[in-house]
Amino acid sequence: MDGLLLGGLGFGAAIIMIFLEIPVAVALGLVGLLGAAMIIGFAGAMTIGATTVWESVTNYTLTMLPLFVLMGNLAAHSGLSAKLYQSMSVLFGHRRGGLALATIGASAGFGMISGSSLATTATMGRIAMPQMRQAGYSKSLSAGSVAAGGTLGILIPPSTVLVIYAFIAEQSIRELLLATTGPIFLAILLYCLAIWVPIWAGWSTAPQHARAHREERRAALKELLPPLAIFGLIMGGLYSGVFTANETAAIGAALVLAYGFLSRRLSPSGFLEAVRDTALTCGALYLVMIGANLFNFFLALSGLPFALTGMFSGIIDQPLLVILLMLAIYLVLGTLMDSLAMLLLTVPLFVPVAQAAGIDLVWFGIFAVMVVEMGLITPPVGMNLFVLKTVSPDIRLTELWKGAAPFVTADFIRVAIIIAVPAIVLWLPLNAM
Amino acid sequence: MDSPPLKKIVPNSFLAAAGICFLFGTAVTVCDVVLRAIAGTNVPGAIELTSLSIGLGALLSMPVCYAKQGHVSAKLLSELAPARFARPFGLLGSVVSLGFAGLILWAVGQNALGKAGSPETTPDLGFPIPIALTVVTLALLAAFLAAMAGVWFVVRNEKA
């Protein structure tokens, strides 16, 4: 069979398998192994399989994943994440839309730890939604802020999705992590507007509440200091070049562990739970990397990425059109699968096209991560919205769409801004030490 | 007093071993940074030691991932209609996972057999490659057995 046709069929088969809820690693790995076997023979494919497993489990760059996951789990079991929502509620709850802001912040924090928008939406939907509803917030605003908040965490360092992109696209993880800074600040600003504009316009309700007592606010600020200090220390080390990205992950895990034990917030059983959760997550993540590498190899053998670059040849000198086309594809895929699955499927195909169009691959990584997350909250079929619907069945879908609309608009504006001003993404990686 | 069942002891042992590997990797990297800052020197073979220990940790956690169906998957339909889709998709996923685990075990096992007796070693620590490949194969054998257990649990509608 023609390699190109085989590549296309393999790509389609992977999408169908993922849609049928076959594990992403297994779908990609099986298609990769069997597809490669059809091109270079069974023995050759098995040799590639063995090499891929060995290279994945001994890869130094990938050691960052367990270390970042460990750091996140230690933070969660030290109560840092829960304190984040409580403290932000105390500090911002009295402002109009303050609880929605706190939800965005806490969802971003939780997303950072869990690495999955869907898990964040499901969890925060159960924690923050009842509080906002009780405080008189409209259903649409409550739902929109939970659904959108989850998408933000994936971009905030330590972003496991970015580590995976760096591995597949062979880009510097340090540069990618630095490149997230501008888009994160932009996202926070635009999400604040996405909360406030509908309130000002009277489309959603968010009653103001009495300001917390000074002591309460002081205590809340005090609670926020340790996580901010740890985050500042490790990111400062990374920005200044004192630590490599791997060292940042290890130092971060050690600092959170030290904080947890010294503040007596991390019990021995909490520590064991954090390590156990890390092991569970990392087994799955390493399998995903093995599957993605096999799939990558098969696609390269089939010649599909080069054919795709050829198909784009008519517009390859117009990077804007290339980007808009990719944006449309990601939005459609967002209706079918999670962000990680989308990235694993598309990065091997899109990176050569982006390269041929002269698009910086660090910029493209940030763009891709932002856009796959957008797909998850874009009506009518963003997956985060469906997850929220299952968590809060009394919310109608139209209310969910209404709630998500301002945040989707904010995301579109953010993407438009980074397309128009790529320096927002690239300035820091190009100028940091 | 009832002793904990085997299906709790086995996964917990694998996860504990994996956790120790991750913590060891973290400790090596932190010591390397501290040593560099204080004495201007490095832990010998720190990068390889970290890679191998964390890689081993990842391998040891894979069996639990197969047995408990802890894979990353896009659960759209089973989130929307759990009663209709969760079980058939769970069964399909576990059977296909078993096939994948078998193929990977075959690939790595054959490679390990081919390298048996080879004098190759890792570049920094000088660790014999045939031994390392045997460890990887054994971990993947455990993953294959766990995938079989995973199918068994799904068929019996049992929690791993």
pLDDT at residue B14, as a whole number:
95
Show the tokens assigned to A123. Answer: 């969890």
Rounded to an integer, the average pLDDT of B53-66 is 95
Tally of CA atoms within 13 A in the half-sphere of A89 that contains its CB: 15
Cα–Cα distance for residue pair A374/A372, rounded to 1 Å: 5
Rounded to an integer, the average pLDDT of A373-399 is 76
CB atoms inside a 10 Å sphere around CB A50: 23
Model confidence band, residue B146 (pLDDT cutoffs 50, 70, 90)? very high
Rounded to an integer, the average pLDDT of A4-22 is 90
Nearest residue of A to residue B64 by CA position? A280
State the smallest CA–CA distance between residue A282 and chain B in angstroms. Answer: 6
Query: By C-alpha distance, which of B137, B17, B72, B25 is closest to A63?
Result: B25
Tally of CA atoms within 13 A in the half-sphere of A331 that contains its CB: 13
Rounded to an integer, the average pLDDT of B77-86 is 76
CB A383, CB A335: distance < 8 Å:
yes
Beta-bridge mates of residue B128: B121
Nearest CB neighbour to A66, from listed B47, B58, B70: B58
Quick one: residue A322, left, alpha or beta (phi over 0 = left, psi -120 to 50 = alpha)? alpha
What is the SS3 string spanning chain B? Answer: CCCCCHHHHHHHHHHHHHHHHHHHHHHHHHHHHHHHHHHCCCCCCHHHHHHHHHHHHHHHHHHHHHHCCCCCCCCCHHHHCHHHHHHHHHHHHHHHHHHHHHHHHHHHHHHHHHHCCCCCECCCCCCEHHHHHHHHHHHHHHHHHHHHHHHHHHHCCCCC
Cα–Cα distance for residue pair A81/A76, rounded to 1 Å: 5
**DSSP for residue A203:** S
A300 CB within 8 Å of a chain B CB: no
Phi then psi for residue B128, to 5 deg, are -60, 125
pLDDT at residue A115, as a whole number:
59
| Dihedral sign for Cα atoms in the order B53, B56, B61, B62 | positive
A433 pLDDT more than 60: no
pLDDT at residue A174, as a whole number:
86
Query: By C-alpha distance, which of A345, A233, A228, A242 is closest to A295?
Result: A345
**What string of DSSP letters covers A276-334?**
HHHHHHHHHHHHHHHHHHHHHHHHHHHTHHHHHHHHGGGTTT-HHHHHHHHHHHHHHHT
pLDDT at residue A75, as a whole number:
82
The residue whose two tokens read 């079989």 is: B148
Is A243 close to B111, i.e. CB distance below 8 A?
Answer: no
Q: List the single best residue of B65, B84, B124 to mutate versus A (max A Cβ within 10 A).
A: B65
Quick one: residue A298, left, alpha or beta (phi over 0 = left, psi -120 to 50 = alpha)? alpha
State the smallest CA–CA distance between residue A36 and chain B in angstroms. Answer: 13
B1 pLDDT more than 70: no
CB A285, CB A69: distance < 8 Å:
yes
The pLDDT mean for chain A works out to: 85
Rounded to an integer, the average pLDDT of B73-81 is 73
Q: What pTM was computed for the model?
A: 0.83
Query: E strand or H helix at A407, and its extent?
Result: helix A397-420
Contacts of B107 (CB under 8 A, 6+ apart): A33, A45, A46, A47, A48, A49, A50, A53
Predicted complex ipTM: 0.94
Is A387 close to B79, i.e. CB distance below 8 A?
Answer: yes
A232 pLDDT more than 70: yes
Beta-bridge mates of residue B121: B128
Quick one: residue B54, left, alpha or beta (phi over 0 = left, psi -120 to 50 = alpha)? alpha
B64 CB within 8 Å of a chain A CB: yes
CB atoms inside a 10 Å sphere around CB A143: 30
